[in-house]
Amino acid sequence: MAGIRNGLSALWRAPDTARMIQQDGEWFTWGDVRVLVERIDEVLTGAGCAERSRIGVLLGNRVESIAALVAILGKGRTIVTLNPMQPSARVASDLVNSLPQVVLAPASMWSEPEFATAAEESGVLGFAVDGSVVDQRCGGPTVTIEAPRDEQSPVAVEMFTSGTTGPPKRVPLTWRQLDAAMSAVHSHTGAAGPEREPLTGRVSLVVLALVHIGGMWAVLQALAEARPFVLLPRFTVDGWADAVSEHKPRIASLPPAAMRSLLSADVPAEKLESLRAVTAGTAFVSPDMADEFIGKYGIPVLIVYGATEFSGAVAGWTKPLHIEWWSRKRGSVGRPFPGVSLRTVDENGEVLPVGETGRLEVRAGQTGAGADGWLRTSDLAHLDEDGFLYIDGRADDAIIRGGFKVHPEVVSDALRAHPSVLDACVYGRSDDRLGQVPVAVVEFAEGAPAVSEDELKTFARGQLTAYEVPVSIHAVDELPRAASLKIDRRRLLDMVAELEAARV
């Protein structure tokens, strides 16, 4: 891919003293990172890993992961992402199912018997990577698993989706897709800018986990633009606000859950005075919350829509669009990016007219779709007469209660409107009589007074129809989240099962 590969090549023109990555207040120079990049490349080359070789990386938000990305992508290899936020047994399962030729992981993961045994028994060549040390742990001395050679377009990244509503799936992103996605983003935002010396210019922020497409994309864009960046180990209000205050970016990413936490924490406006806009995606963004943020800080919220399968975002707002249209189009996720076409279809695949809700389909160079070019999503959406896209829900998460349809996000929004509730999640539970019933789990805002389940139900009845009111509302100290900061439904169900067992 021209953009990323050129950016990676540009790094080698930077002086070793150039600041590249800031983490926990400490700057790592290009020289620091280069030493590890060269060491990783040396062991991969020595093992016979040329272009298209598949290299698994336990991809935490740490400097070692960035060095691995540069070493792998810089030589046209493929990175297979493994999620360090998962239990070791699930990481081991993902390793066996994806079967890369080489796996790179911290020494701490090699101390997990399930992971180490899975790597050994699968024939993978494994290395522990910590600091500047790359230590072989299994396999070798050369790779024995063949790299694929028959793709028309070589794969750059194999991403695992978060699996928050079911088992994760592996999505191959080709160099061609990433190239198209990068071009679309730069056309949409003008972010590429003029030529600069490598590792100069404004510092960007990487907020999300690298195993999420949002975090991966933020790093790829920084590398493509040869730009220094802050790498947050995980999102915290203080970490994000301090990075914005120190580096004064004009635009920063702020996922919806993070935005809600920022508002709840009452961060002083002067800390964010450099921002001309924040971008928000990864999950539904309430227009009321966006307006609350705009009202408090005077900073427009530019919502974007995308997915792993699209190699990132395919639609969104720009600041000029926001100025002209937001008051009339609030609730929209914006317009399609240049080169992106959108349409909605019914369950038979018939294209629907403007304004009608149906399954959203996307056609773009970055989707990797089939012969007709259209990729069908699980999102329900409609397009208005001015080309703005509205996401109306998901085709696969509506709760049918006694024949009535309940949209979880509508119920969640009603509960979030309670002054004591920071966030909420609603899901459907099987019911012998009604088919499904809605169940809610809420997280209270810090310092807010405790509210009983009955009080919350009474509050919800004031905003919802009777069949939309949850049959149970559980309170937890903190909603479990995946790498994207979306709520992890599988972990949530485990928590609810424990709460309900304790009630018996």
Residues 152 and 17 in one domain: yes
pLDDT (tens digit, 9 = 90+) per residue, 147-173? Answer: 877 666 799 999 987 543 444 578 899
Residue 268 main-chain phi, psi, to 5 deg: -60, 140
Residues 288 and 152 in one domain: no
Residue 96 domain-assigned (yes or no)? yes
Last residue of a domain, one of 345, 368, 394: 394
pLDDT score for 199: 95
Residues 21 and 165 in one domain: yes
As a whole number, mean pLDDT of residues 28-50 equals 97
Residues 485 and 342 in one domain: no
Residues 242 and 372 in one domain: yes
Residues 249 and 345 in one domain: yes
pLDDT (tens digit, 9 = 90+) per residue, 235-255? Answer: 999 999 999 999 999 999 998
Last residue of a domain, one of 343, 369, 394: 394
Alpha carbon distance 253, 494 (integer Å):
30
Residue 249 domain-assigned (yes or no)? yes
Number of domains in the chain: 3
Closest to 479 (Cα-Cα) out of 454, 497, 496: 496
Q: Hey, what are 339's tokens?
A: 């080169």
Of 107-121, 257-271, 302-316, 393-407, the range with the highest mean pLDDT is 107-121
Residue 184 domain-assigned (yes or no)? no
Residues 241 and 338 in one domain: yes
Residues 323 and 348 in one domain: yes
CA dihedral 152, 153, 158, 160 (to 10 degrees): -80
Residues 67 and 138 in one domain: yes
Last residue of a domain, one of 365, 394, 423: 394
pLDDT (tens digit, 9 = 90+) per residue, 198-218? Answer: 999 999 999 988 988 889 999
Alpha carbon distance 49, 448 (integer Å):
55
Alpha carbon distance 275, 246 (integer Å):
12
CATH (domain of 494): 3.30.300.30
> Which pTM was predicted?
0.83
Residues 384 and 241 in one domain: yes
Alpha carbon distance 467, 461 (integer Å):
10
Residues 416 and 327 in one domain: no
Q: Is 319 helix (H, G, I), strand (E, B) or coil?
A: helix
Residue 98 domain-assigned (yes or no)? yes
Domain boundaries, position 404: 399-503
Residue 81 and residue 54 in contact, taking contact as beta carbons nearer than 8 Å: no
Name the band, by pLDDT with cuts 50, 70 and 90, for residue 292: very high
pLDDT score for 190: 61
E-strand ranges in 11-60 read 19-23, 26-29, 54-58
Residue 205 domain-assigned (yes or no)? no
CATH (domain of 163): 3.40.50.980
Residues 168 and 32 in one domain: yes
